[in-house]
Amino acid sequence: EKVLSAETGAIYPRCIGGKRACPPEDCGGPYGYADFLEAISDPRHPEHAEFLEWVGGSFDPRAFDLAEADAALVAGYGQRWKGAGK
């Protein structure tokens, strides 16, 4: 994480980088996510099929889409920067 200078007229907040996919919603916190990753990586795991169905068929924990993350931030919170004190 770092702080950059704002440009007047630019839309903020913006995502400028990242690593790995966001854990699925309601996966049970860090321990639940670890269990989820273990299950989807092992086709013999008893919950393998159930977890894959839950996330829509596939999940790549290494995936990160900068454009998608940035678009989500802008759609939910984006505002044009008017400059300091304006």
- Cβ atoms within 10 Å, residue 57: 7
The pLDDT value recorded for residue 8 is 86
Q: Does 40 map to a domain?
A: yes
Q: Does 86 map to a domain?
A: no
Task: Encode pLDDT of 45-55 as tens digits.
Answer: 999 999 999 99
Domain count across the chain: 2
Q: Does 74 map to a domain?
A: yes
Give the range of the structural domain holding residue 31, as residue numbers without chain letter: 26-62
16: nearest Cα among 33, 3, 7: 3
Q: Quick one: pLDDT band at residue 85, thresholds 50, 70, 90?
A: low
Q: How far apart are the first and last CA of the chain?
A: 26
The residue with greater pLDDT, 1 or 33, is 33
